Structure 1
Amino acid sequence: MNKINHDQLLSLEHPFVKIPVEKFRSSLRTSQKHIEKEIAMLTDKVTEISKKSVQGSMDPKQVEAALEAIVTRLSTLKRKLKDTRADEALYSQRTKVRLQHLQEFTSISTLDSDDFARWSRTRLNRIVIDYMLRDGFRETAALLAKNEHIEDLVDIELFTQSTKVEQALMRQSCTECLQWCKENNSNLKKLKSTLEFSLREQEFIELVRERRPQEAIAYAKKYLTPWQETHMKEISHVMGLLAFQPDTKCFPYKRLYDKARWNDLIAQFRSNSFALQFFTPEPLLNVTLQAGLTALKTMMCYQHEHRNINCPVCDPETLGALAVDLPMSQHLNSSIVCRLSGQIMNEDNLPMALPNGYVYSYNALTEMASLNNGKITCPRTGAVFDISQMKKVFIS
């Protein structure tokens, strides 16, 4: 019963290792492209200077100035590469630490060992930090990571970068998010993202809201028409705003003017950002909690007379409410659980019947009797019996 199923738990840890590995690869690709571009440009520049110098079309001072400009550009490239190397070292270190963390788990064999309790605490802290970061509690998350010495097991700075864009959208500014789209253009195309179009659409709406029709039309020609092959219907619809005031009651256009669209943009950006950075769409806390509740949920959990006091799904006020829409667990073998102790009744904890027909575990009844001078009180009926009156139950 205490044996750990490593494969099941590790199946939830795929993003945990993939995030730093992919960030390392991305940083490496970016630096490589930047180096190739700069070297090619500088090589052409040196060749051009050499030719002009030979031809006599550049005097020595001009050649010196041109070479100094190249040296300055090389110095800038060196600084950028230094920053890139720092990022690569960071993600390389994180990958190593996270693999060690998972390797430590695979060496643990039982659930009741101290090593598993310690490892589980670290994992719980990781999951809680992930939840807090998604909910905007960055300072608290950073403090918890520092106090628990697990900075390499979480990705606080990635959420910090995304938060800056979200805060700009909250201020009803698309500038930062459009810049983010430009920087991640190729990856967003792979996702078939429509975030950039949604942002352009919103900027057009704001121009119309401010009653600046000429600027709005010019904006649409420049930024919306490139999307006409895939979003012609939306473009036609939004252009109709030119004929309606912001306080219109006409539903389609009233919805376009609705300020709640900014919240939709934040949600769309967050979804795209999580996808690009390989985060799970849902917080790990939600995923883990739902997996656990699904494993425990049975039909008995929603029958009052059969509820188990130690089963979280059986409590309708807390986790039971969260589990309502989750699927039932599949049990190939039945288990009999004691209503008094919540423990499973088996050969080591036999089911015992009282004279009134109710069945409880041997351990629970003997413990009750030891505290009450050999007397047992049935929790369901209140009837009192002597411990000698209980009998073994045999299930066939």
Structure 2
Amino acid sequence: MQYNYNHIFLENRQISNTSAIRWSCFTAMVIGIAWIFTLFHIISVPALAFQIIAPVSIFILLLPAVVNHLMHLSDILLVGSKGINLLTGLILGCNLTAVFLLSSTLSHYASIIWLLPTLIACQYYSKRITSHIFLGGFVGMILSFYVSIYLGIEDLNLALVHLMPQLLIYCAAYPLFMNITKRTELLMKKQKLSMLAYQAKQTLDHLEELPDTYITDCRIKMRYLAKNGVDVDTALQNMDGNVDKYNDFLLTFVGESHRKEDELFTLMDSDTLLQYGAKVHALRVKSNALGLRNLTDTAFFHEIEAYAGNLEVIQNNWEKLSFEWDEACDVFTDYIQSLGLKDHATDGQGNQITFKKWGEQLHEAFDALETYDPDKARSILNELLQYQIDADITQNLQNIVANIDEVLKA
């Protein structure tokens, strides 16, 4: 299953918009109750303009809910990201406008309501949006005092006395707003990382569907190896009868043989005979472990001659070594194909990794996502992407890494 993380972001924004609209409606209800109380002289408001501004503010606060209901701006499938973003701007803009009107009418008596737009922004939206709304509230608070002075609601000297403490208190609340925003963004990231972990788990399950290197009838088919000169019984005995270990070793041997043979050929020079001897020694050890008696003896001969500095002897016998090496690979390849064994993953440099190890590392990345450690998960997945396991799995991992990058950018 592939995840559209932009779609997930829009769903989060949709939920945030719905919650913010509820807050706006609740605020409108409180203002409406206060307005009704002033009409019946239950409470006294110093500015008569409040009688007009209050219903206007209520209408502005309810406007996003009305527009959303009529235009379905929360329907992602219908309006997409533009509708969601438009509704977000409308909600926050209407809140700032309503608060500005009330503050202009009530002056310092309405100072507390300037916290409302920023509180809504930090509770449901990103740090960037919260910062913009906070700045808008700061400018709006100053302008509202100028409007109050212009309307004669506030005396100039008293306005300055009231304005400074309110600005200081408003600015002092900024760290609190940022802390709330940080928690909100963290929850959103955790949600996305949880989905990434689930996607990694699905990839892990898909990997387990690939053919395993342990096939129940491999002991029977190993007789084919014995018929072709491979001392498979001794090799298995040295590996404590572990067929899976033998198959794993065999796959590695076949997978790297062409590269190793080319490397060995380039070292067949008087200046690099010691390196040649070391490489052919490694070949002898591996051949012996797999039961390749002829190749083991030939490799041992080359090793002795290399350390003795007999380049001409080595060159004269290279064809025999190369033939026996290729012949062993052909026999092993037939055996691999008869069992349906999956070859090891190989990166661009020819380095190999077993499926078991690859799966273990993928599981480690999955655990990192579950514990909300995206940096570690991304590092592991980028390393695994160097090995071509399966086209679908590679595509899934690339999507996961891309989505982790999006989460870290958010």
Fold match by TM threshold 0.5: no
- Greater RCO structure (CA 8 Å; 6+ sep): 2
Structure with the higher helix share, 1 or 2: 2
Larger radius of gyration: 2
Shorter-chain TM-score: what band?
A: under 0.3
Report the TM-score when normalising by structure 2: 0.22
